[in-house]
């Protein structure tokens, strides 16, 4: 479905100004090209303003000097591939996210405003989401080569169940998919009295203590039970994925 003219003009204006003022991947555009020319050109003609590199996506998490929004945090890293970081996505309904989760890391509960398919590149993870209409939890344990569908707007999470890092790749049907982190919404967006009431009428001091513990826009947290299991099992050379998962849940003790 084609976008409306106002939406198309807005997209092109943002992209054009971004490329002129910042430059994406070192690409250069004809400085005499105007917004009017871009808007009136056909899709194929408009491609003339892009370079071959504008269509590339670097999924290697170490390629932090390449196009994409790169976020490095204590328990993992994430790269967002969407407009305006990848110009070739203009007028497509595509976007992508590469996640690296360190041992026992959890990608915080969040929602996307688009559908996603999450594919496990490496590791052993638990992925879940809440069905909006019934509040039902859908959860699966995935290993390398498996994927899971996450519907638009569903509250979802990803947990690394291994003592080594895990890698996942999500493809979304939007070039501007948007992310809303649940912890940040509760503590840094909603009014304080609303959040305090939602948590059972906690005091102002308790609320401030939570804010000190939970950093705004923190994509990753960590499962402390998993870390404890890692310490207890440190003498073991390796663990089977299901065995490790049972240890994390406390269903299996190590002598």
- Cβ(102)–Cβ(167) below 8 Å: no
- Which of 32, 55, 78 lies at the terminal end of a domain, its last residue? 55
* 109-168: pLDDT as tens digits: 999 999 999 999 999 999 999 988 778 999 999 999 999 999 999 999 999 998 889 999
- Cβ(117)–Cβ(138) below 8 Å: no
| Parent domain of 208 | 188-249
- Which of 13, 28, 55 lies at the terminal end of a domain, its last residue? 55
The count of domains in the chain is 2
Would 65 be classed as within a structural domain? no
139 φ, ψ to 5°?
-145, 140
Q: Mean pLDDT in the chain?
A: 79
Would 153 be classed as within a structural domain? no
Would 85 be classed as within a structural domain? no
pLDDT for res 66: 85
Dist CA 91 CA 89 (whole Å): 6
Q: How far is CA 49 from the centre of its chain?
A: 29
Position with higher pLDDT, 174 vs 238: 174
Would 192 be classed as within a structural domain? yes
* In the predicted structure, residue 19 carries a pLDDT above the cut 50: no
- Cβ(187)–Cβ(123) below 8 Å: no
Would 118 be classed as within a structural domain? no
> DSSP character for 9?
H
pLDDT for res 242: 58
- Whether the upstream peptide bond of residue 84 has omega within 30° of 0, thus cis, is yes
Mean pLDDT computed over 223-248:
66
Would 215 be classed as within a structural domain? yes
Query: Residue 108's pLDDT band (boundaries 50, 70, 90)?
Result: very high
pTM reported for the whole predicted model: 0.73
* 189-233: pLDDT as tens digits: 999 999 999 999 999 999 999 998 888 888 999 998 888 777 666
């Amino acid at each position: 479905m084609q976008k409306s003219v106002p939406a198309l003009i807005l997209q092109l204006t943002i992209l054009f100004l971004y490329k002129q003022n910042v430059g994406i991947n070192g690409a250069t555009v004809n400085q005499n090209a105007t917004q009017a020319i871009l808007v009136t050109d056909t899709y194929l003609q408009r491609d003339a303003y892009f370079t071959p590199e504008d269509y590339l996506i670097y999924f290697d998490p170490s390629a932090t000097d390449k196009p994409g929004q790169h976020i490095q945090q204590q328990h993992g890293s994430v790269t967002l591939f969407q407009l305006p970081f990848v110009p070739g996505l203009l007028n497509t309904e595509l976007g992508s996210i590469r996640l690296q989760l360190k041992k026992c890391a959890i990608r915080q509960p969040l929602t996307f405003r688009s559908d996603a398919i999450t594919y496990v590149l490496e590791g052993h993870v638990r992925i879940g989401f809440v069905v909006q209409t019934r509040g039902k939890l859908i959860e699966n344990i995935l290993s390398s080569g498996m994927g899971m569908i996450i519907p638009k707007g569903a509250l979802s999470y990803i947990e690394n169940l291994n003592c080594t890092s895990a890698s996942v790749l999500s493809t979304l049907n939007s070039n501007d998919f948007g992310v809303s982190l649940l912890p940040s919404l509760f503590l840094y967006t909603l009014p304080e009295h609303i959040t305090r009431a939602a948590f059972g009428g906690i005091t102002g001091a308790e609320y401030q203590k939570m804010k000190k513990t939970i950093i705004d826009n923190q994509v990753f947290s960590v499962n402390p039970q998993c870390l404890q299991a890692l310490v207890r099992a440190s003498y073991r050379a390796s663990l089977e994925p299901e065995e490790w998962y049972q240890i994390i849940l406390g269903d299996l003790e190590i002598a």
